[in-house]
Amino acid sequence: MLNLSKNAIEKIEKLDKLTRLRELNLSFNCIAKIEHLEALTSLQVLNLSGNKIQTIPPWIGRKLKALRIFNVARNRIQTVSSLLAYFSVG
């Protein structure tokens, strides 16, 4: 588990070597774009709540197949319709 919450982080970077990481908490930072997480294929929990994210890239469901909890509450997201094919909602 890696907890980087409340650190004023603006960009997700330099995490690609953590391929066995299971939980990543980047909540309450200043992140505007979800990027550079494709290599984290063991990730089961991703918390990006409380950031400035506007869109969710469609690769999230394809690349992060182990992902079970994906928290993007308290962001600026306009639509999630492109994600419905990759995640079961309910």
Q: Per-residue pLDDT tens for 41-68?
A: 999 999 999 999 999 998 998 999 999 9
The CATH architecture that domain 1-90 belongs to is Alpha-Beta Horseshoe (3.80)
Cα–Cα distance for residue pair 58/17, rounded to 1 Å = 22
Separation CA 25–CA 1 (nearest Å) = 8
DSSP 70: E
Strand pairing class (45-47; 69-71): parallel
Q: What is the pTM of this model?
A: 0.89
Task: Please state the domain extents for the chain.
Answer: 1-90
pLDDT of residue 90: 47
- Tell me, what's the pLDDT at 15? 97
